[in-house]
Amino acid sequence: MALKFLVIGRRGQLARAMQERAVALGHSVHSVARPDLDLLSEASVDAAISAADCDVVVNAAAYTAVDQAEREPDLAFAINATGAGYVARAANRRNAPVIHISTDYVFDGVGSAPRLETDEVGPLNVYGHSKLAGEHEVRAATDAHAILRTSWVFSPYGGNFLATMLRLAASRNELSIVADQVGAPTHALDLADAVIHIASQIVQGPRHDFGVFHATGSGYVSWADFASAIFRESAAIGGPCARVIPITSEEYPTPARRPLNSRLSNERLLESYGIALPHWQDALKRCMARLAPEITSKP
């Protein structure tokens, strides 16, 4: 069955990945963003979703400037919390399930064990608090929801850690990268495949598993080791690379505190929907292979 997706957001990594993967699988995607849909306006959100011809609403839009959110908490909450509620309520009024994207930043990062969906939350920064508030808004607005907490998203397009590393390595021989923050890099295209699979089961399946799920790439790595892996792949195709100097979070202070432990357990996603996202190393190889023509063509 071909599904009709309404994706909130247009230029973000997941929104672009949804456009690519869903269409390739025979589904249709209509992406909306400002000015057609403004998360700061309930009337705008309601009008856009009410007029949409869709089976599933995917909210892939968010205020994601983590450090800037410390200076703009009202705006972060307006988009990530209140705006998320607008989307969920509008979708509920037209009887469309919502797949809402959240983050590992809802946790405090203590310990080293992978976090479960049922574990106690405790954001360390404004961004994390705003995304957690968005989860509450979605749950309060509609029962038909799947909230997907993901982490460290990268892709062949848009701004992300991989793109930043390649850009910096083009002009620098050494890069100091935080080594005490550990998480799971997640390929946006793999996450899009998971969203599509979940949506298909929700719409077509006899049983609906709603609630909060963790959806990240398999395996865990530090930012420093992820950067080293990026440079190994880049060097193999003649692209830029740099020597990574591991540092601590204390040596690289930022306005917003980051969790040291961003490991999320994906077991519930596997049990409920039979989904296990590929290992981050496999995803990185696929992403770099796709970027190869662009990387090797640069002077």
CATH code for the domain of 267? 3.40.50.720
Q: Confirm whether 268 is domain-assigned.
A: yes
Which listed residue (63, 86, 105, 127) is catalytic? 127
Residue 209: what pLDDT? 85
Q: Is residue 146 part of a domain?
A: yes
Q: Is residue 239 part of a domain?
A: no
Using CA atoms, how far apart are residues 247 and 51, in angstroms rounded to an integer? Answer: 51
Candidates 183, 177, 196, 169; CA nearest to 21 is 196
What pLDDT digit, counting tens, does each position of 212-250 carry? 999 999 999 999 999 999 999 999 999 999 999 999 999
SS3 298: coil
Is 127 annotated in the active site? yes
CA distances from 238 to 144, 153, 230, 250, 268 (A): 48, 24, 12, 34, 40
What single-letter amino acid sits at 55? Answer: D
Axis-axis angle for helices 280-297, 188-204 (nearest 10): 130
257 within some domain: no
Classify residue 297: in a domain, yes or no. no
Q: Chain-wide mean pLDDT for the chain?
A: 95
User: Looking at the predicted structure, is the pLDDT value of residue 8 above 90?
Assistant: yes
How much is the pLDDT for 299? Answer: 57
Give residue 204's pLDDT: 86
Residues 14-24: tens digit of each pLDDT: 999 999 999 99
Q: Rounded CA gap, 66 and 69, in Å?
A: 5
CB neighbour list of residue 21: distance below 8 Å, 6 or more residues apart: 189, 192, 193, 196
Place of tokens 């479960």: 116
Give the domain extent around 139. 4-156+186-218+262-278
Q: What is the mean pLDDT of residues 278-285?
A: 98
Q: Give the pairing type, strands 186-187 and 56-59.
A: unpaired
> Which residues, including other chains, have CB under 8 Å from residue 18's CB and lie 6 or more apart?
5, 7, 29, 31, 58, 60, 192, 195, 196
Angle between helix 83-93 and helix 126-141 axes, rounded to 10 deg: 20
Query: What is the arithmetic mean of pLDDT over 29-46?
Result: 94
Is 8 within a domain? yes
What's the structural domain count of the chain? 1
pLDDT at 298 over 80: no
Sign of the dihedral defined by the CA atoms of residues 133, 139, 142, 148, in that order: positive
Query: What was the pLDDT predicted at 294?
Result: 79
CB-based contacts of 49-53 (< 8 A; 24+ apart in sequence): 49/6, 49/87, 49/90, 49/91, 49/93, 49/94, 49/96, 50/90, 50/93, 50/94, 52/6, 52/94, 53/4
| pLDDT at position 29 over 90 | yes
Backbone angles phi, psi at 222, to 5 degrees: -85, 165
Instruction: Indicate whether 92 belongs to any domain.
Output: yes
Residue at 129 is within a domain: yes
The predicted-structure confidence for 140-179, as pLDDT tens digits, reads as follows 999 999 999 999 999 999 889 999 999 999 999 999 999 9
